Chain A
Amino acid sequence: MNAMTKTELRELSYAEAIREAMDIALASDERVVLMGEDIGVYGGAFQVTGDLVEKYGTDRVMDTPISELGGAGVAVGAALTGLKPIFEFQFSDFAALAMEQIVNQAAKVRYMLGGSVSVPLVMRFPAGSGTGAAAQHSQSIEAWLGHVPGLKVLQPSTPEDAKGMLLAALEDPDPVMIFEHKILYKMKGHVPEGYYTTPIGKAAIRRPGKDLTIVATSMMVHKAMAAAETLAAEGIDAEVIDLRTVRPMDRETVLASVRKTGRLVCVYEGVKTLGVGAEVSAMVAESDAFDFLDAPIVRLGGAECPIPYNPELEKAVVPQVPDILDAARNLAKGRI
């Protein structure tokens, strides 16, 4: 019955939502090309590009050789001269092979040339741990790129944002780096039909609350939401902020929340030291919101080691729901 489908919200997986965004972009703009390793008939290592090559052909869904540095550089050169490439790294870890082109070229060329050019380039990075892929296929390196002026760095946590932020990135004249958590690819959620954009640089309040603020990124947003439900049953009302953009960071949303709650936990999967949570904490500490704090800021981040293979170790080195619960309870009960 048609009546039923009308009342139900359409659901797509995170990977399907990204594919739909790329499909819309390919259909509406001849300048858009997809580039990456095994994104054609294979469909991408995580089946994100899927069957797009059948619809758009190998000229627009281009398999690159296993040449991350060269491939990234080709995308930079193409973006400088009229194309709008979406470049997929097979794993975000492989960006290490291409840092020269990302950091020294894509990020800087507009500035170095006095603003006479722009680089409308989108790069996609499957990121994060939890797949048993060990140290070279599991990192969260958004802070590396977040440290580079000239780049914009996104971490969508829902299917709706994954589509909307990719379309926003394509409208953006500057290089935009999108980190997609691999565990999220299969997660389903409501995704609006057709074209829309999710703003870059704007955090989302996923759950309003008054007792403490949890600022989370990517996969950690879902862990924070799960923790918040448990906390609510205990009478602790947590506000969960999905940062969504690492650079430029949404200062206003975070500070307003801290002014309201007086307590802050930052949860992120990247290595704790010098990570995204360090920046969030410093942002609060340097602002008037500091005066509203009733307790020290707590950071929960990745352990100071590479991601291990053993599944129990792998879980242990990134924040989990119990870690968030412990931190939140201690903060709320004034133990910190």
Chain B
Amino acid sequence: MADTLVETNAPYAIRTYSPEQLKDALRKMFLIRKFEEGAEDSYMRGLIHGTMHLSIGQEASAVGSCMSLTDADKITSTHRGHGHCVAKNADLGKMFAEFFGKETGYCKGRGGSMHIADPSKGNLGANGIVGGGLPIAVGAALSAKRLGTGAVTICFFGDGANNEGAFHESLNMAAVWKLPVVFVCENNKYGMSTSTARSTAVKNIAERAAAYSMPGVTVDGNDFSAVTEAVDAAVARARAGEGPSLVENLTYRWRGHSKSDRNRYRTKEEISEWMERDPIVAMSNLLVAHKILSEAEVAGLEEQATQVIKDAIEFAAASPDPRIEDATRDVYTEGAAA
């Protein structure tokens, strides 16, 4: 039994979370991977007409960061946000339906991939504007503090956003007002094609935390336990009323920025090297090594995820399109002056 063999030198996640929670985390990581692969496949088959920003390779960052959150806690997400939705317990069918532009989707087909949100689960939404979610996250944290809800907000953003004015203004205000928000930077090395080395004056984005008098830490974003350990500490600090933190998860997107990307700014070797560091393989190995799952059970989780995504795509494909006459619905709240 796991509880009779507590390993004091085991990684943080193993020491902190129950086997059920860890198994669920791996399940979500598989769901993200399969969602993204399903999205790519649907695009190839002409079922999705917009572009997409896939987070394959970044699954540990999304799931690991949300481990200590409840549905009352908020997140704001980015244009590369499918993983965050899954980590925050989104319904895969409604996600795919949104991707397909269907009335049954999270945004009734009005938002698409870049705007999936689920306020009932605390997911305030992805964002098509780089840095757009940063001040909104600070606002959510302000509400939590004023209304005394005890909720914490995790603000996901990419390395590209760290050079937006909104990033600096947001970190400053969060620190000045000591708000319960955790800034999680998913540094996947490139803002579209421009590397952090070419765009960012500091070596590690977490160094920028010092300018706003908050803790900043850089971790291996493909190491589930390392992510969880860093973000959990920041969430606990926020919950205790001690203010914001910045956590930088170093990770990598295996796919291009979007469908228009010809991958001219990075080498095949670099991509292969990062694919060797697959966060799902690492997490699976971790759970097998600590006897939380057998290899067969890991394979079972993957199969299960494949089936969930297959069902989600079927649900989306069979769903109705929005009605043309409803194109201007929901611009304003019904019943209010408009």
Contacts and interface: CB of A to CB of B under 8 A. Distances in A.
Interface of A: 31, 33, 59, 64-65, 67, 69-83, 85, 100-101, 104-105, 109-118, 149-150, 152, 168, 172-174, 199-201, 248
B139 to A, nearest CB: 2
A79 B166 contact: no
A64 B176 CA distance: 10
A81 B172 contact: no
Given A74-B138, A80-B124, A81-B74, A248 B169 contact: no
Contact of A69 (B110, B125, B135, B176): B135
15 contacts: A70-B138, A70-B170, A71-B173, A74-B135, A80-B119, A80-B136, A101-B136, A104-B132, A105-B129, A105-B136, A113-B107, A113-B110, A113-B111, A150-B332, A174-B338
Contacts of B108: 114-115
B115 A82 contact: no
A72 B338 CA distance: 23
A114 B105 contact: yes
Contacts of A168: 337
Nearest first, the 8 closest Cβ-Cβ pairs linking A and B are A77-B139, A73-B135, A70-B169, A115-B330, A114-B108, A77-B136, A114-B107, A67-B169
A172 to B, nearest CB: 5
A112 B147 CA distance: 26
A77 B337 contact: no
Contact of A173 (B132, B137, B146, B336): B336
Most B Cβ at <10 Å: residue of A82, A104, A200: A82
B117 A73 contact: no
A200 B74 contact: no
Contacts of A74: 135-136, 138-139, 142, 170, 173
B332 A73 contact: no
Contact of B143 (A81, A104, A113): A81
A249 B111 CA distance: 27
Most B Cβ at <10 Å: residue of A105, A199, A200: A105
B144 interface: yes
A33 B143 CA distance: 10
B46 interface: no
Contacts of A115: 108, 329-330
Contacts of A80: 119, 124, 136, 139-140
Interface in B217-272: none
A67 B172 contact: yes
A33 B146 contact: yes
Contacts of B129: 100, 104-105
Given A65-B176, A113-B110, A114-B107, 8 more contacts: A73-B170, A77-B137, A78-B142, A113-B106, A173-B333, A174-B332, A200-B337, A248-B337
A100 B166 contact: yes
Contacts of A67: 169, 172-173
Contacts of A114: 105-111, 330
Nearest to B322: A114
Given A115-B330, A172-B336, A73 B119 contact: no
B5 interface: no
